[in-house]
Structure 1
């Protein structure tokens, strides 16, 4: 990867919500003018296959009738195709739900965004039923990662379209979900900010489930301050601002699992980020954290996603199994073989693991890891087709490896771009256990300005 093969995301950055809201408040712009820019972006080549459904007339009407001074003020927000929007059919990137009845009411996340003044630009493409970190969709096509110029590369998933909508200027917030990294993976691969909150803080009612245990409703944005605003809206709470000086912060870098088989650009960007933080006085310690090696054994029977998705899809698979993405179908059907006692033991094992992990990391302000160990590979290497299944599942496992740790921990995490100017996107993941969201977001604000 050369400097000329990747977009320079830092040289021509898109404005974030806070910049545009200030323009609205001073009269320098209007919600309608901003919406026209977003609509124009949806028709650009970079937005090809990003949206499953759009309604330009409705979007314009939402922007023009927005309440001045509301948090989102009629600005564009995209909705991942697994969230209910009143009057629209939720298909979760599939074909088998195309004839399902339209939703009668908004999901909780959509309702809160609507109440905050969002104008919904459209429903975004995704990995079918959110069951992949790669972002490939054989039914609707796969949106290309806009950070690359050399060849079409994967967007990351499962919130693939959500990320591309933000990266291209079609939306300021991409509403999505994160069950094993589905917000953070595409954000990291595209040079964006993705925040996975503690799952319990945002209700998932009205969102089609992958795993009722691990699913998290959250968002992709262009900046940390936008991530904070999106989280405040989705969680219906205020994040207190209490920045802690970096010299008083203690960070841990787990050596186990999280640093394995890093591609050279990822390792270089991660090392540079750590040096930058150390130069500013942060205390960074490498720790073993051997508990991470236990996860493969805990999830050996397929984990929560397989069992819980099979419970939801069982009848659909029986009636319409041939219409599923074969790679998704294979993973869902794995849940059929899990017995009740294995599922109960899985719950117990996770609880015990969380207890020991929490004890091991409690003295640190945050843990630092590469969000994913690789750059975005070409779509051609993992495109639909049995001859590429081995490559697909290898890439998928690598992409999910680091971020899925946080979902099992019932924790929170944020990915920030940490590549140097002109290089391909690399994500730095700050993470911790449950309900450390506020302190993590405050730390991310400081690190963003440094990185």
Structure 2
């Protein structure tokens, strides 16, 4: 069982451990040649990590400790960290080190987080599989010998946590990039309402859909990280929502299609437990969802906005891109400015309709993704890669398209392939959704 942030904070507070010891444990796992360290942290540990840990311990001796003081945290390689180069999982971006932290990273640093290192990811965050041909693909902790995908694009973030290389990982989420790897690797993953956490200092994929999220052992861990990055008071355990009378909506279309047997069984058990705990679960048809297909034409807003950022780089460095990522970005060139504006307007309309439809419910509940993690080797063919990527993105991307908040919670039995249960909440209802998620986690978690 992985230690939560609260557990580590308690150990640090009563001097059962210190920041140096926690970091040393993480570094030992990263340096283990038999482990996934080289694929999780392809550029090694942060050169400033030991100095940060030493400073944290020194400050604590003088009674000065922020809410994350001494906690080892990994950073997805698309966030600027002062003094380090941001590569976004690519070989193209290899310029000068960042002169300042991304805003979210700076807030966590001010809270005392110790940066373990920069985690591997799908190149430029443009896939939900987590495969990276440049630096290798970290293997999923489940059935590791089979070499299963970790999910993406925050692939290294998830494996850094499952393998004890960090206590938590900071990632981005544009179509499920925190929640997919969390679900496939047996962790909690949170995607906030996009506007709550500033994106300055992060390499963009889609300015419409990008959000700053986290992957950690529990929902409470994600809530702690989220509160700091959003500049809000930390959510307290006493705010955890009771499930008695909780109104949960199971969508009648899209998200329940094509579930494999393991996901279907885990989801049914989770719903049964929630119902037994007093939640009111109702199947609902959301009319706004019928327009989501139009937002994905020719790559949709993501491809258009990615193309606008990459067009210059592609002109000079196309050969250096992962061909599968390059092809997806180039889809954006097929759309006109008029089409972009039309799609932005359609999205705004659907977001308003969705928010109205969600008013009678506390949250939507559904599987995070419809399948368990496939083998990396089985996705070598283009058709398998493309179809699996679409399938993994299908459910979590709804929250990004409709500008909702969402959390993925493990709901599989111990020893089984990881399965995530996703809760989606209304726009800017993040703290409420996390409070609900903490209560749901207590009921559906079967991993220990």
TM-score computed with the length of structure 1 as normaliser: 0.94
Question: 2: distance between equivalents of 1:57 and 1:375?
Answer: 36
1:122 corresponds to 2:112: no
Tell me the C-alpha RMSD between the 2 structures.
1.2
Residue by residue, what CA displacement relative to the aligned partner does 1:408-451 show, whole Å, maximum 9, x if unpaired? 11110000000012211000000022111111111111111112
Q: Is the 8 A contact 2:160 2:169 kept in 1?
A: yes
Q: Is the 8 A contact 1:53 1:123 kept in 2?
A: yes
| 1:203 alignment partner, one of 194, 198, 206 | 198
Q: Identify if the C-alpha distance between structure 1 residues 314 and 129 changes in structure 2 by more than 3 Å, giving closer, same or farther.
A: same
Q: Give 2:400's aligned residue.
A: 407
1:248 corresponds to 2:245: yes
Q: Is the 8 A contact 1:256 1:290 kept in 2?
A: no
1:296 corresponds to 2:293: yes
Residue by residue, what CA displacement relative to the aligned partner does 1:23-61 show, whole Å, maximum 9, x if unpaired? 111111111111111111212313340013234652111
1:430 corresponds to 2:423: yes
1:42 corresponds to 2:30: yes
Question: 2: distance between equivalents of 1:122 and 1:369?
Answer: 33
Q: Identify if the C-alpha distance between structure 1 residues 185 and 55 changes in structure 2 by more than 3 Å, giving closer, same or farther.
A: closer
Q: Which moved more, 1:84-93 or 1:396-405?
A: 84-93
| 1:327 alignment partner, one of 319, 324, 344 | 324
Q: Give 1:65's aligned residue.
A: 55
SS in 2 for 1:374: coil
Q: Identify if the C-alpha distance between structure 1 residues 374 and 17 changes in structure 2 by more than 3 Å, giving closer, same or farther.
A: same
| 2:389 alignment partner, one of 393, 396, 411 | 396
SS in 1 for 2:440: helix
Question: 1: distance between equivalents of 2:101 and 2:136?
Answer: 26
SS in 2 for 1:170: coil
| 1:447 alignment partner, one of 429, 440, 447 | 440
1:149 corresponds to 2:144: yes
Q: Give 2:221's aligned residue.
A: 226
Q: Give 2:73's aligned residue.
A: 77
Residue by residue, what CA displacement relative to the aligned partner does 1:108-157 show, whole Å, maximum 9, x if unpaired? 11111111111111111000000000000010011101122341000100
Unaligned runs of 5+ in 2: none
Q: Is the 8 A contact 2:180 2:392 kept in 1?
A: yes
Residue by residue, what CA displacement relative to the aligned partner does 1:173-218 show, whole Å, maximum 9, x if unpaired? 2111000000000000000000101111100000000001110011
Unaligned runs of 5+ in 1: 1-12
1:305 corresponds to 2:308: no
Q: Give 1:269's aligned residue.
A: 266
Q: Give 1:26's aligned residue.
A: 14
Q: Is the 8 A contact 1:253 1:368 kept in 2?
A: yes
SS in 2 for 1:77: strand
Q: Is the 8 A contact 2:77 2:86 kept in 1?
A: yes
Q: Identify if the C-alpha distance between structure 1 residues 139 and 48 changes in structure 2 by more than 3 Å, giving closer, same or farther.
A: same
SS in 2 for 1:120: strand
Q: Is the 8 A contact 1:46 1:146 kept in 2?
A: no
Question: 2: distance between equivalents of 1:292 and 1:389?
Answer: 28
Q: Which moved more, 1:312-321 or 1:146-155?
A: 146-155
TM-score computed with the length of structure 2 as normaliser: 0.95
Q: Give 1:421's aligned residue.
A: 414
Question: 2: distance between equivalents of 1:150 and 1:373?
Answer: 23
Question: 2: distance between equivalents of 1:354 and 1:26?
Answer: 47
Deviation at 1:362, TM superposition (A): 1.0
Q: Identify if the C-alpha distance between structure 1 residues 139 and 149 changes in structure 2 by more than 3 Å, giving closer, same or farther.
A: closer
SS in 2 for 1:208: coil
Q: Is the 8 A contact 1:299 1:346 kept in 2?
A: no
Residue by residue, what CA displacement relative to the aligned partner does 1:272-296 show, whole Å, maximum 9, x if unpaired? 0000000111100011224323211
Question: 2: distance between equivalents of 1:412 and 1:83?
Answer: 21
SS in 1 for 2:39: coil
